[in-house]
Amino acid sequence: MFASFNSKGSKLQIANPEYSDFGPNTALIQSFALGHNFPTEYPHFSGDRIRYHFLFYFQAGNLEFLGLDPTWSLNLLSITTLVAMLVIVMTLGEVLFNSRAVGRLGSLLFFFFGSLSYVPFLRKQASGRAAIQAITHQRDYLQTIFPYRGEAWGTWSQVTYLNQRHFASAIGILLLVLVFLVIRYRAVAAKRAKARAATETMTAQPNGLPDTTPLAVSANPSGDVRESQVEMPSVSVTTQSTEETTITAEPFIATLRPFIFSGALLSLLPMWNSAVFIAAAAILGLLFILCPLRLQMLTLAVTAGLIALPQMLFLSGGG
């Protein structure tokens, strides 16, 4: 982070791949720290309401307003959110696959190139030594099979997270909600499995009576035949307690609270990163169709929509 954005004396130093984004972004940070730009307008266009997700840079401007260096305010927030995103990626992998190794592997793969274009690049090299030399002398991003100008910008590399510093935090918010939903879906599946197992153990079993032995007549001098009393063994039928077999149903209202909170988290995304907000709507819509807890998911969507709608109107309105 500091290699791409730093300061020396009174001058800001911006790396070559980032200058196009950091020009307006640093101006936006300074407008919050020095100009109290709220309600937010473009700092370089007078009187025009902003149409860009600015909340991350608003937080960076607050840190600078509290006394931090401009580069430290942005880099500290960027590093914290990127590390948090990687931790949530690990958590999602562990929760989804019940394996810590999968979660750690998912975070590790983040640091690799996001496309397979390195495979033909390495095949062209005659030897391992030649491959190492080619890698060290490579100055441009590898081209993939997709014909668009984003190839030259390193869209499939980590440079995206250097240019768009708000990207990692927005993805982290979405992944955090997905972790919560996976845990909830697993809990519902576990309760249903427990209920099925309890129902199977409650099936009636035939109670067989013990075989009766012949009555033994004891002879006595008086010739009286006493009626033999055969003691019948008591048959005890064990019934499981209903407390053990009944699955306690959580009140519906109680289940809504975490979904409302998750919806409030997602509602931050329009002003944080609107592209991630659209992706979240698509993912959660698919989960609504395929998974249970539809009423809770509808509550989540309504909460997110009600809070996000004014933000979307603000960003799209203009001035």
Distance, first Cα to last Cα, the chain:
34
CB 245 within 8 A of CB 198: yes
Instruction: Give the C-alpha separation, 249 to 247, whole Å.
Output: 6
What are the residue ranges spanned by the domains of the chain?
A: 5-81, 115-157
What's the one-letter identity of residue 226?
R
Q: Enter the tokens of residue 97.
A: 């696959």
**What is the rounded CA–CA span in Å between residue 299 and residue 26?**
38
Q: Give the chain's mean pLDDT.
A: 81
pTM for the predicted model, two decimal places: 0.77
To 10 degrees, the CA torsion angle through 174, 53, 161, 118?
90
Instruction: Select from 169, 179, 190, 189 the least CA-distant residue to 55.
Output: 169
Helix (H, G, I), strand (E, B) or coil at 278: helix
Q: Enter the tokens of residue 158.
A: 């980590």
The token duo for 6 is 């730093």
pLDDT of residue 159: 81
Secondary structure class of 125 (helix, strand, coil): coil
Residue 145 has pLDDT above 80, yes or no: no
Q: How far apart are CA 309 and CA 263, in angstroms?
A: 13
**Digit-coded pLDDT (tens) for 152-189:** 667 777 888 888 889 999 999 999 999 999 999 998 88
**Contact at 8 Å (CB) between 260 and 297?**
no
Give pLDDT, residue 84: 96
Amino acid identity of 89? Answer: V
pLDDT tens profile 33-82: 988 887 888 887 777 778 888 889 999 999 999 989 889 999 999 999 99
